[in-house]
Amino acid sequence: MATFVLVHGGGHGGWCYRSVAQILRGAGHEVHTPTLTGLGERAHLLHPGVDLDTHIGDIDGVLRYEDLTDVILVGHSYGGMVITGAADRAPNRVGQLVYLDAATPVNGQSLVDVAGDIMAAARLDSRVVDGVELVLHPFAEAGMFYGVTDPEVLAWMADRLTPHPWRCFEQALDLRNEAELWALPQSHIVCSSTVPSRDPELVAAARTAGRFFEIDTGHDLMITEPRAVADALMQVASA
């Protein structure tokens, strides 16, 4: 059985993987769904210093303190930045990387570099609260921004989404063990709508390797299509 660490994206928390985690655990896998500092149930820990390095340290800490090895490290959206950095910090603990409709950065890139137009739009509604510039502020139907349309699910999300510190998005990734990092197998589970905007060489290589999974749903595919996501993750594990 495999060990999964599922890392959420901007404004979310470990809660967003609830259904996927249930399916994976039901199949006998070990699953961790940490929440990054300053978000979700850890929103009370928000402070002006929270940035990408903070979140990389969060996941590095989970890998080390839970003494995990051969981990399938999964990152959604902004979580692609985080898992890349965490795998670079502890490549001996990671067996595979899975980018879940996620950013796929290289050394020196920030999320602003990777997804400039989207991040510029997000910053239009930025607000400074207690010295922290925050974006992705939740509102009644914020889940629709992530491709969710079911009214019950939208209500569930509205109670859980939290604003995200902007510093996380503008800080560049600082990789230190690139040879080991890029030697790790990578898989990509993406929404059909985002395929045209992705690096065609990366997509072609992943397809050729049998490590590309396309799901026709919105950006929060772990919420809208948990069974399809879990099935794809189990295929990654079996490979």
- Residue 167 domain-assigned (yes or no): no
Dihedral of the CA atoms 32, 36, 42, 45 (nearest 10)? 140
Q: How many Å apart are CA 36 and CA 188, to the nearest integer?
A: 22
pLDDT at 197: 86
Percent of the chain with pLDDT over 90: 88
Measure the CA–CA gap between 65 and 59, rounded to whole angstroms.
Answer: 10
In a domain, residue 41? The reply is yes
**Averaged pLDDT for residues 182-200:** 93
Q: Tens of pLDDT along 97-113?
A: 999 999 999 999 999 99
Of the residues 19, 77, 192, 238, only one is catalytic, namely 77
Task: Name the band, by pLDDT with cuts 50, 70 and 90, for residue 54.
Answer: very high
Domain count, the chain: 1
Q: Is residue 121 part of a domain?
A: no
Residue 68 lies in a domain: yes
CB atoms within 10 A of CB 121: 12
77 is catalytic: yes
pLDDT band at 36, cuts 50/70/90?
very high
Residues spanned by the domain of 178: 3-108+173-238
82 domain-assigned: yes
In a domain, 142, yes or no: no
In a domain, 9, yes or no: yes
Task: Give the model's confidence band at 116: pLDDT under 50 very low, under 70 low, under 90 confident, else very high.
Answer: confident
CATH code of the domain containing 97: 3.40.50.1820
Residue 126, domain member (yes or no): no
